[in-house]
Structure 1
Amino acid sequence: MLEKYFNYKQHKTDFKTEVTAGFTTFLTMAYIMFLNPLILSDGGFDFGGVFTATILAAALACFIMGFYGKTWPIGLAPGMGLNAFIAFGVCKGMGYSPAEALGAVFVAGMVFLIISLTPLRAWIINSIPRSLKLGIGAGIGLFLAIIGFEIMGVTADHPVTLVTLGNLKSPIVLLGCFAFVSMIILEKLKVKGNIIIGILVFSIIAWVSGIAKFNGVVGAIPPMTHLMTFDLSAALSASMITVVFTLFFVDFFDTAGTLTSVANVAGKVDSKGNVKDIERAMLSDSVGTVAGSMLGTSNVTSYVESGAGVKEGGKTGMTSIVIGVCFLLCLFFAPLATSLPKEIDGAALVYVSILFVRNIVNIEWDDIGESAPAVIAMIAMPLTYSISTGMALAFISYALIKLGSGKVKGVSPAIWLIAILGTISIAI
């Protein structure tokens, strides 16, 4: 039945290849099960509740992508970057509760869903300059890096310089540093699942040496503390407009960029540069975000790590279904998740930040009018500790540069609109 539904023969694949591809992609993104609860718990979320929500949201989104997307071998789960924005920006920084933050995720997901069903999808994707997209992505990476260093203990607060070197004499901090280096080495050696391997190996060293406490491997599934607790009252208020916009914007363009990247690897781009069936994939992604907010986690998005499975031969939605099944099998691993030292989890966060930053090579560096706003986004996000502020400053500067240099022709109305909204958000 599955062979007929996914038409393996037409796509030149088979069940075994799809299973191998799905498992490969799962290994490359399994770290989210541990990192997402860790990050959101810093914003007041319940660790166990987010652990369960993360797995269920990932599995559900993968199943939707598999059965509806059908030709997309994509893995989905709560995305890195926006989870940190929710925890450190919205909850800790702005003082909103987890329920109010989840309300904003729900609204952003609904906006994404509606736009995915209309021609606005293509207009928005084509409206934002490539350099700005890349700069915002790199800024999110640097934002993750500064959080990751803090979690690792590599940096510490300082009353004068604001940040300084942490206690590198601490054995657990050193283990985190070695874990980070090991992830890079494994990547260089093309070992699949380098992040999860690094986390588990160095966590075992910490447990055996007595540096960290081991709570077990399997146990009861944690209750879904945040199930259907999202609060829409704050999300629909004027003060949350920029938050909702940021959640939508980053999720939308992260998804579009990921799908385009995977499509290139999978041969889903036609001679005119159009991506086949992208509307099905984006719709599946947006439904995943809405469902995730109901389950109790941040925006669900497509993972660029899906390219690993595509390289293993994955060509249909069966790959996504295998990824979803793998996530579900991990529901009982909550004790293991609580046993992982945060310093080693932080190392994984710093590693992921590199994946965000490395695309700056494609920014138009020869045109300072394009590169300067991108750099502003990169610098402002970590230094203001806010993705939304960094985005606002980038769009405002881009609009002012175009206006001042007399090059307003060809600038999309979306740029002016976002710049105005950004100015209002900063002013209030």
Structure 2
Amino acid sequence: MLQKLFGFDPSVHNIKTEILAGVTTFLTMVYILALSPNVLSAAGMDKGALFTTTAVASILATFFMAVYAKLPFALAPGVGLNAFFAYTVCLTMGYSWQFALTAVLIEGIIFIILTITNVREQIVNAIPMTLKYAISAGIGLFIAFIGLQNAGIIVDNPATLVTLGDITHGPALLGLVGLLITSVLLVLKIRGALLVGIVLTTLVGIPLGVTHLDSIVGLPPSIEPIFFKFEFENILTRDMVVVVFTLLFVDIFDTIGTLVGVSNRAGMIDKNGRIPHLKKAFLVDAVGTTAGAMLGTSTVTTFVESASGVAEGGRTGLTSFTTAVCFAISLFLAPFFLAVPGAATAPVLVLVGLMMMSQIQKIDFGDYAESIPAFICIIMMPLAYSISEGIALGAISFVLLHLLTGKYKRVSVATWILAIAFMVKYLTM
């Protein structure tokens, strides 16, 4: 039954490992249940309804990933995309949140069409293998950076953009203690080290005054205020086209980057650079976005935090099914799950970032035509705070370097098309 439902092979996979991996993934991304409602409510949406919708959209999309694509990846409303939804479309451009939801719905439908016609799969195959290795390493730096920010170890600075936070107390101190605890568990090869690290760090946070547990059980609010609320009269406007295109671009390449990077870490990419069940994973992403818009939330996308579950050994749909179950439980135990502070999950993101950096060894640094674009891809992900921008700049530099040094025959036609599309995107921004 497990093999048929989740692609679980008892001769290769372990049930306990898959479940631990699913719980770990959930704990590293549970912050979305608090973050997404906070961001989207700035656009005037009901905060309570947003909490329920965020959880339900995550449950449906992640469950679909488990039983259809049979991959260990979890989905939820995207962090950067919900900020674009609220702060750019609604607060800056002045449109209603119903307009923004309509744009998300259109994006999801276009995604379904692009997936069925294999366009998204062809985009992945157009990315050179060197850049695929770079994507994995870049995401490693990116999620480590996110973890350091979540704990307050790295903070913003008007003069230098970023700087070291106050690490002598509070969340930053807890984050460093958690990093030490989890690192020791990994070195000692303790089973479920990442999950155990999160639990122990959360407990340490109680005497430090960082972990606050006031209650455990609570009923989820109704989603009626935001369910199926669309504004179709503005579909043909120029601004709608711009918003839909932006959502498409970011979601396509964030998802591609996550799938390529995490699959690399899991050793799931074959020698030809292909990912198993990739088309199914894309379809899950597209359907999740469409369903999410109907439920009343921003673009649903594959979460890079899935790498934490993969690092724990998750390899099948049983991992993502476990994550979906955890999201379902969280609907009624929200106060408990939301009590896990960002500083407790930050160490896991940092250490998973380390694990994903291992792919950098496969890059030929002696061939500058390959290594320079790879380095640009890697460094731009955390600095631009975007997986998609890292991929775009890496692809453009890859093509230009090969063209200007006479190595253009090493560049496939598909890679040329991809790079030109990125250039057009920047020129028309």
**TM-score, normalized by the shorter chain, greater than 0.5:** yes
Q: Identify the residue that residue 343 of structure 1 maps to in structure 2.
A: 343
Q: Equivalences for 1:312-391 in 2 at 5 Å?
A: 321=321, 323-391=323-391
Deviations 1:76-114 (Å, cap 9, x if unpaired)? 3338xxx34325667557857877776665555444433
Quick one: structure 1 residues 284 and 235, their matched pair in 2 at CA, closer, same or farther if it must change by over 3 Å?
farther
Contact 1:153/1:166 (8 A) holds in 2: yes
Q: State the distance in 2 between where 1:272 and 1:417 align.
A: 20
Q: Identify the residue that residue 301 of structure 1 maps to in structure 2.
A: 302
The TM-score normalised by the length of structure 2 is: 0.76
Quick one: structure 1 residues 251 and 291, their matched pair in 2 at CA, closer, same or farther if it must change by over 3 Å?
same
Aligned residue type for 1:37? L
Aligned residue type for 2:197? G
Aligned residue type for 1:145? A
Q: Identify the residue that residue 238 of structure 1 maps to in structure 2.
A: 242
SS in structure 2 at match of 1:164? strand
Deviations 1:358-388 (Å, cap 9, x if unpaired)? 4222223232112211211222233334444
Q: State the distance in 1 between where 2:28 and 2:101 align.
A: 18
Q: State the distance in 2 between where 1:159 and 1:11 align.
A: 50
2:86 corresponds to 1:85: no
Deviations 1:180-220 (Å, cap 9, x if unpaired)? 23233333444454444333332233234544432222222
1:29 deviates by 1.2
Quick one: structure 1 residues 126 and 180, their matched pair in 2 at CA, closer, same or farther if it must change by over 3 Å?
same
Contact 2:292/2:298 (8 A) holds in 1: yes
Q: Identify the residue that residue 254 of structure 1 maps to in structure 2.
A: 258
SS in structure 2 at match of 1:409? helix
The TM-score normalised by the length of structure 1 is: 0.76
Q: Equivalences for 1:273-312 in 2 at 5 Å?
A: 279-295=279-295, 296=297, 298-301=299-302, 303-304=306-307, 305=309
Quick one: structure 1 residues 339 and 281, their matched pair in 2 at CA, closer, same or farther if it must change by over 3 Å?
closer
Aligned residue type for 1:383? L
Q: Identify the residue that residue 76 of structure 1 maps to in structure 2.
A: 74
Q: State the distance in 2 between where 1:197 and 1:230 align.
A: 43
Q: State the distance in 2 between where 1:273 and 1:416 align.
A: 18
Contact 1:235/1:244 (8 A) holds in 2: no
Deviations 1:280-319 (Å, cap 9, x if unpaired)? 45434543343344442543438453585667xx6xx667
Quick one: structure 1 residues 84 and 59, their matched pair in 2 at CA, closer, same or farther if it must change by over 3 Å?
closer
Cα RMSD of the aligned pairs, angstroms, is 4.2
Q: State the distance in 1 between where 2:333 and 2:400 align.
A: 51
Aligned residue type for 2:291? A
Deviations 1:139-159 (Å, cap 9, x if unpaired)? 344333334323322123333
Contact 2:76/2:300 (8 A) holds in 1: yes
Aligned residues: 410
1:59 deviates by 2.9
Which runs of no fewer than 5 residues in structure 1 stay unpaired? none
Q: Identify the residue that residue 27 of structure 2 maps to in structure 1.
A: 31
Contact 1:134/1:359 (8 A) holds in 2: yes
Q: State the distance in 2 between where 1:382 and 1:12 align.
A: 36
SS in structure 2 at match of 1:336? helix
Quick one: structure 1 residues 169 and 321, their matched pair in 2 at CA, closer, same or farther if it must change by over 3 Å?
closer
Aligned residue type for 2:300? N
Deviations 1:314-333 (Å, cap 9, x if unpaired)? 6xx66755553343233212
Identity in percent: 30
SS in structure 2 at match of 1:30? helix
